[in-house]
Amino acid sequence: MKRLVLLGSTGSIGSQTLDIVREYAGEFSVTALAAASNTELMEKQVREFGPAYAVLWNEDAAAELKVRIGDLPTKVLSGMDGLLTIASLPDYDILLTAVVGMIGIRPTIAAIKARKTIALANKETLVCAGHIIMPLAKEYGSAILPVDSEHSAIFQSLNGEPKDRIEKIWLTCSGGPFRGKKREELLSVKAEDALKHPNWSMGKKITIDSASMVNKGLEVMEAKWLFGVDYDRIRVVIHPESVVHSMVEYVDGAVMAELGAPDMRLPIQYALFYPDRRPADASRPRADFCALGKLCFEEPDTETFRALPLAVRAGKTGGTMPTIFNAANEEAVAHFLAGRISFLRIVELIEEAMDAHVPVTDPDVDRILEAEKEARESVLKSIK
């Protein structure tokens, strides 16, 4: 039985992870759950899975949860101290981190130092701190297993192949709800338009990032750290069917790809059971290639969706610049969702923050968090 600590249990990835725990009853025990502030759902999860610890980032929400589950032995913690406590526990096997934002960095470092396996669904951990995380994981012998569908596909396509024979990585992208549109067509789009993803069921923030292609830019930066491939060998290709989840091209011209229905439970399950593969429930969607008929691929429109080249610029600059890209986007997306700025303004604000920043080489975690603060302040100053 694998013992699981789950960060971000009430979000989209976290909820689907617990679907898998239910589906494979007896294969997992839940040692700890963590989330932001959803006390009602956290209470339900605690009562169902019986973790030893439950953490809510918000202190008031944690106090409420403590009252709600006062009849249970589960210990309630809060904030970063709570996350670090459960990440450092000795008696569990795998940390699945699905929190949104840079709060995922420190718990991941703590889990690595505790020599745990990391199932990684938190993009910011590698985007902002890949230069810290990957060497540290190697030092402590901690496996980093990607949960994003694209990176899981690359990871699976590398199985049994020589890592030094990679020619190119192809990251696929659905194109989101605005595929094929030009800038003038995006001037007046609203949050409800951007949240209509054609294929995937995701949280609000990542769905907006998919619509702007910020998400793909973050994935390019992640891929660099996960697979040790420089940016010039990472290509993004639009694939509207979302069946080919990504591909690896080798020096002899062979291309290995992982295909399947667009269902996040597949890469989550692969990470949880790795290196095994387990039969999935018959109710899960499967790819029907006869019904599909064809698979399409297109070059991304980087003039309309400028987040992608900006992300590559941030990644190649390195240091604190990826943090500026990420944090400015987080702040801008929050204001877009609140109706304060336009959709196209998101990427403009990212670029303004990057242009104003003097990058610091090889930053530690404190300097990364300072860069986050700088980026957020840049965005707030620009929208006043």
Predicted pLDDT of residue 197: 72
Look at residue 194 and tell me whether its pLDDT is greater than 80.
yes
Q: What is the mean pLDDT of the chain?
A: 95
Predicted pLDDT of residue 200: 60
Q: Which of 203, 102, 63 is nearest to 54 (CA)?
A: 63
- C-alpha span between 159 and 79 (Å, rounded): 38
- C-alpha span between 231 and 245 (Å, rounded): 19
Query: Average pLDDT in the 168-172 region?
Result: 98
pLDDT in tens, 60-86: 999 999 999 999 999 999 999 999 999
- C-alpha span between 208 and 152 (Å, rounded): 22
Q: Sheet holding 144-146: strands in order across?
A: 75-78, 53-56, 28-35, 2-7, 94-97, 117-120, 144-146
Q: Which residue type sits at 111?
A: A
pLDDT in tens, 348-360: 999 999 999 999 9
Look at residue 176 and tell me whether its pLDDT is greater than 90.
no
Query: Average pLDDT in the 361-381 region?
Result: 97
Q: Which of 156, 165, 144 is nearest to 245 (CA)?
A: 156
Task: Assign 118 a pLDDT band (cuts: 50, 70, 90).
Answer: very high
253-257, long-range: CB within 8 Å, 24+ apart, which pairs?
253/167, 255/170, 256/157, 256/158, 256/161, 257/153, 257/157, 257/170
Task: Assign 121 a pLDDT band (cuts: 50, 70, 90).
Answer: very high
Phi and psi at residue 372, in whole multiples of 5°? -60, -45
Confidence (pTM): 0.94
Query: Average pLDDT in the 258-278 region?
Result: 95
Look at residue 203 and tell me whether its pLDDT is greater than 90.
no
Predicted pLDDT of residue 202: 66
- C-alpha span between 68 and 45 (Å, rounded): 12
Residue whose structure tokens are 């067509």: 185
Look at residue 226 and tell me whether its pLDDT is greater than 70.
yes
Predicted pLDDT of residue 282: 85
Task: Assign 107 a pLDDT band (cuts: 50, 70, 90).
Answer: very high
- C-alpha span between 153 and 243 (Å, rounded): 11
Ordered by where they begin, the domains of the chain are 2-146 (3.40.50.720), 151-180+207-300 (no CATH)
Task: Assign 199 a pLDDT band (cuts: 50, 70, 90).
Answer: low
Predicted pLDDT of residue 201: 60
Query: Average pLDDT in the 320-345 region?
Result: 96
pLDDT in tens, 14-57: 999 999 999 999 999 999 999 999 999 999 999 999 999 999 99
Query: Average pLDDT in the 324-332 region?
Result: 97
Task: Assign 191 a pLDDT band (cuts: 50, 70, 90).
Answer: confident
58-61, long-range: CB within 8 Å, 24+ apart, which pairs?
61/36, 61/37
